Structure 1
Amino acid sequence: MHVTTVDHYLPEPGTFMHWTVPTEPTGVASPIPPSFNQLVHLSGAESGSIWLAAAFDVPGALDRARLAAAYRALIARHGTLRSSFTATPSGPRRVLHPTPPHLEPQPDQPHTCATTLRETLRRHSDIACAPFAERSYLLAAIDRPHTATIVCAFDHAHVDAYSIAIVIEDLRQLYLGVTPELLSPTGSFVDFCATPVEFGPDDPRLAGWRAFFGDQGVTPPTFPLDLGLAPGQRAPQAVELRHLLSAEDTDSYESFCRTQQAGLFAGTLAALAHSVDAIGGGDRLRLLFPLHTRREPQWHHAVGWFTANAPVTVTVTPELADTIHAAQSAVRAAIDLGTVPLAETLHALGGLRPHHADIFMASYVDYRRLPGAAHHRAINATHISNTGSADDVQLWLSRSDNGLALRARSPSTPTAHEVVGALLDQVQRTLRTAHLARVGG
């Protein structure tokens, strides 16, 4: 899986086409409230659409009727795609919709320039994926005589990174003619949101959260170095993509981590902590990381925002190996803390008191373990995020058959460009040094 942002995505020119779902006044109010993530997301709806897109290639010119049928089956299969949100005086409410009877094809838009094609995709995604739209997604494709690209975008309220892999695999099979009944069984994210979670003020996991935040209110972690912004200021986001390690070198570094009874994510957090320290950010790395909540079999192939957050602190020691070992213990403890419902946890700790709109975080996804991974390279599977503004650093680490890659998001200021560039350079040096030590090179 290639992970990128729309401003870095340059599809081969072709004919852009898309479908719309007819508006039907048949939505039914649902008693199931939005999830915590959805509520936070919808509260920022005025700042614009935050969408994620899936793209992959199919051979030959597009079979439009077949793709329309595949899209319709995808909507029928995943409950969150048959739901939307409406604003009310008491907050966002969920609305459920029937499976659409048909999709309406829109006029073709031929493109001979990759940049203008990309901007067409961006514009249509921004419009279609509005958070309070009745159907917050774009169903599209880029048609060419030799290879077509299926591309669809979804408001973040309905998908996470894991979902992008599920969407690609479902559409790949449906387009090839596999009937929906033969796909892996799946539940609905709407039902997941109705699942009660046991939690109370005496829950022992609260102690771990309190140790991270204190009990005078929750101030999310921020990047420890100046990014060139005044308090309350945001800037257009800058994105930097780095291929940190080849597949072979990633395997080698993972083996090094295993000698410290640690996994690759902990090992990469340790390298990040050493790198932050090396550029003057201090020897304690505090951040949040998302983890998926698809713990039960019925959610393994479900599209939705199945994500919780976990707090982790990595303390730098003189030797990277020792930091890796300690980081694994910290990650293991953080995963346990991430199983508590965040809304209730924040309330118990005194409420949320953020300094920034964004949160300093690092995400890790091993795409080799997700549905359809065996086909990702052959079909040019791509995860595309949109762009916006930023006031902190956020990192997305992705493991694939191509190795270890990083997408960094930060404010586009001269100070941030210099600091984040130095950080990523240092991360690469740290990982490379550890790999060379491992192989004796």
Structure 2
Amino acid sequence: MRLTNVSQMQVQPGRLHSCVVTATPEDTERLPLSFDQRRHVSFGSRPGSWMAASFRLLHPTGLEQIAEAWEHVLGRHGTLRSVFTSAEEPDGGEDGGPAGAHGDRTGGQGPQLRLSRADPTGSRWQRLTDDAAPAELRAALRDLFDVACDPFAQPAHRLCVVEPSPQDPEQQGPQIIIGADHAHVDAWSLLVLIRDLTSCLEDLDAGRPLGARLPEAASFAAHTRQMAAKPTAPEEITARWREILDAGGGAMPSFPLNLGDLSVPRQEVVEVRDVVDAEALAFLESHAAQQGVRLIGVAVSVMTRLARELADQPLRTVFPVHSREDPRWFDSVGWFITNSVLENDDEGYAASYRTVKEAIRLGSYPLGPIMEPYGGMPQEPGMFAMSWLDHRKLPVNVAEDLQPQHVSAVIRTDGVMIWFVINDSGMHLRCRYPDTRQARRAMRTWLAGLVYGLRAPLEAG
């Protein structure tokens, strides 16, 4: 699955349609908010808060079939049948209490939030363009998702279809793009949505009951309650978090090189670098195994060396970790991601891999109580994060012949995010950073050194 954004995604020419559903919040059922949901939604309505999945069906399929299958998918996943609202007055209850009072850089200050059940009803198709070229379709998708997938949209998701032009001599299947506000989905969830929708379409073709072959999907609300019921983090974990935040001046880690003036967020720059193909990837994994580590340990080693050589600092980066610890959640849609921090100053493979394990442990406890003294997760301009996505290791995956894409929004940013994406075709990097002269220079140097360092064992071998 290729990681891209809406301005660079691959779109086939054709006619763009949107499947519109409505969802009215119910007063009868209030749902719990996770720490990350509350933080994300408390920043308020804004363009670019969403993520999307795109794929292409292998044969012509009608819009009504797609809508019927999509309605069944919505029925499977509780988070897609819930909406956020902003309450006028604090109620002090479990689900709608104060979000915090320490400023919007923590995601803590904001409205009193409520999450309510809201079953989507009344799907209808809306044509957004006639036959259009890819550039026009990308712009139309961006404009639509910025509004339809807003945190407070009802519902905060939208399915779109690009039908091939009747003049297309090949007449291949339509391209489907599913967008959703990040509060309801993560990268793993996008795979689940593609799997579920294609399975339901196959059921329609075969005359089977929809979803007959799909496993049960537990609700994200149940996961939020389970996380809230976890024991308080031991003192050693809380103390380690204090050390990490103190080392960052009371905030999450910042990128070690000069990014220029970030007094306001800047237009993003997105770069994708192909690192190795499948054959070279196999060699690198064998090289890592011979050293007693996994490939991520090699990547952390390379970045640790870069941080020391270029900035004379330890490597410190935000490190998202998933909370699908129980197989019960493998087939569910939701935001099963929490943030941790990876800190390392020893480029040895063993030490680098130990820091990965430590980061996973730091992220295995509820962050709310840990971050409460800071009024939420303290974030400053220049925050640095890395994400490791190995699609081969996930229990849910998508066939490459569907041409799957993980599509991010186009945003303004004041931080640096690097994704390491691994699949059967090899490894590529995707990097997002602010468009300043200093950041362009710094990121060219960092990314060149990162790719060179990752490939170095190939040259030595």
The 1:314–1:112 alpha-carbon spacing in structure 2 relative to 1, beyond 3 Å, is same
Aligned to 1:336: 361
The Cα offsets for residues 296-331 of structure 1, whole Å up to 9 and x where unpaired, read as 1221110000011221112144xxxx2x21111111
Deviation string 1:184-219 (CA, Å, 9 cap, x unpaired) is: 222010221122333337543223222322499841
Q: Secondary structure at 1:387's aligned position in 2?
A: coil
Which of 258, 261, 265 aligns to 1:234? It is: 265
Counterpart check, 1:10 vs 2:42: no
Partner of 1:360: 384
8 Å contact kept, 2:162–2:176:
yes
1:56 is paired with a residue whose SS is strand
Show structure 2 runs of 5+ residues with no match: 91-111, 165-170
2:399 is aligned to 376
Call closer, same or farther: CA 1:380–1:359 in 2, change over 3 Å.
same
* Structure 1 residues 410-438: Cα deviation after superposition (integer angstroms, max 9, x where no partner): 0011111111111111111111112222x
Match of 2:254 in 1: 222
Deviates more, 1:199-208 or 1:57-66: 199-208
Alpha-carbon contact 1:75-1:81 (below 8 Å) kept: yes
Q: Indicate yes or no: 2:195 matched with 1:169.
A: yes
Q: Does 1:180 find its partner at 2:206? A: no
Instruction: For residue 103 of structure 1, report the CA deviation from its aligned partner.
Output: 0.9
Kept in 1: contact 2:120–2:155 (CA 8 A): no
Asked if structure 2 preserves the Cα contact closer than 8 Å seen for 1:218 and 1:346, the reply is: no
For 2:189, give the aligned amino acid.
S
Question: Separation in 1 of the partners of 2:323 and 2:234?
Answer: 23
Could you say if the C-alpha distance between residues 191 and 296 of structure 1 is closer, same or farther in structure 2, counting changes exceeding 3 Å?
same
Matched residues, percent identical? 28
Q: CA deviation at 1:112?
A: 3.2
1:78 paired residue number:
77
Structure 1 counterpart of 2:86: 87
Describe the SS at the equivalent of 2:339: strand
- The match for 2:93 is none
CA RMSD of aligned residues (A): 2.1
Partner of 2:109: none
> Contact 1:10–1:115 at 8 Å: present in 2 too?
no
Normalization by structure 1: what TM-score? 0.91
Equivalent residue number for residue 314 of structure 1: 344
SS for the counterpart of 1:205 is helix
User: Which one of the candidate residues 129, 150, 154 is aligned to 1:130?
Assistant: 150
Show the counterpart of 2:372: 347
Shift of 1:77: 0.3
| Distance verdict in 2 for CA 1:105–1:225, change over 3 Å | same
**Matched position secondary structure for 1:180:** coil
Secondary structure of 1:181's counterpart equals coil
Contact 1:78 1:188 in 2 (8 A): yes
Post-superposition offset of 1:293? 0.6
Distance in 1 between residues matched to 2:63 and 2:134, nearest whole Å: 22
User: CA offset at residue 342 of structure 1?
Assistant: 0.8
Report the counterpart of residue 307 of structure 2 in structure 1: 276
Larger CA deviation: 257-266 vs 196-205: 196-205
Give the superposition deviation at 1:130: 1.1
Taking a change above 3 Å as real, the CA distance of residues 351 and 146 of structure 1, as seen in their structure-2 partners, is closer
What is aligned with 1:405?
428
- Displacement of 1:59 after TM fit? 2.2
Tell me the equivalent position of 2:56.
57
How far apart in 2 are the matches of 1:215 and 1:198?
27
Secondary structure of the 1:45 match is coil
Q: 1:419 to 1:77 in 2, by over 3 A?
A: same
Once residues 198 and 120 of structure 2 are traced to their aligned partners in structure 1, the CA distance between those partners, rounded to angstroms, is 20
The within-5 A match list for 1:16-31 is 16-23=16-23, 25=24, 27-28=26-27, 30-31=29-30
Any idea what SS the aligned residue of 2:127 has? coil
Rounded to whole Å, the distance in 1 between the matches of 2:376 and 2:63 is: 50
Deviations 1:323-367, CA, capped at 9 Å, x for gaps: x211111111111111111111112578654322x6311001111
1:297/1:346 CA distance change after superposition, 3 Å: same
Stretch of structure 1 that moved more, 233-242 or 152-161: 233-242
Give runs of aligned pairs for residues 227-266 of structure 1, distance below 5 A: 227-230=259-262, 232-266=263-297
Partner residue of 1:96 out of 108, 117, 127 = 117
Letter in 2 for 1:237: E
Q: Secondary structure at the match of 2:31?
A: coil
The Cα shift of 1:368 comes to 1.5
Deviation at residue 22 of structure 1 after TM alignment: 3.0
* Contact residue 300 and residue 353 of structure 2 kept, 8 A: no
Point out the more displaced range, 28-37 or 418-427: 28-37
CA distance in 1, matches of 2:42, 2:250: 18
Q: Displacement, 1:29?
A: 5.2
Q: Secondary structure at the match of 1:298?
A: helix
State whether residues 15 and 127 of structure 2, in contact with CA within 8 Å, keep that contact through their aligned partners in structure 1.
no
Structure 2: how far apart are the matches of 1:216 and 1:247? 38
CA drift of 1:123 comes to: 1.1
Contact 2:22–2:154 under 8 Å retained in 1: no
Equivalent position amino acid for 1:355 in 2:
E
1:285 paired residue among 291, 298, 315: 315
Asked if 1:153 is matched to 2:179, the reply is yes
- 2-structure distance, mates of 1:371, 1:382: 18
- Verify: 1:296 aligned to 2:296, yes or no: no
Provide closer, same or farther for how the CA distance between residues 172 and 369 of structure 1 changes in structure 2, counting only shifts above 3 A: farther
Count of aligned pairs: 427
Q: Is the 8 A contact 1:221 1:288 kept in 2?
A: yes
Equivalent in the alignment of 2:100: none
| 1:43 alignment partner in structure 2 | 42
What is the CA-CA distance between 1:286 and the residue it aligns to? Answer: 0.4
TM-score, L = length of structure 2: 0.88
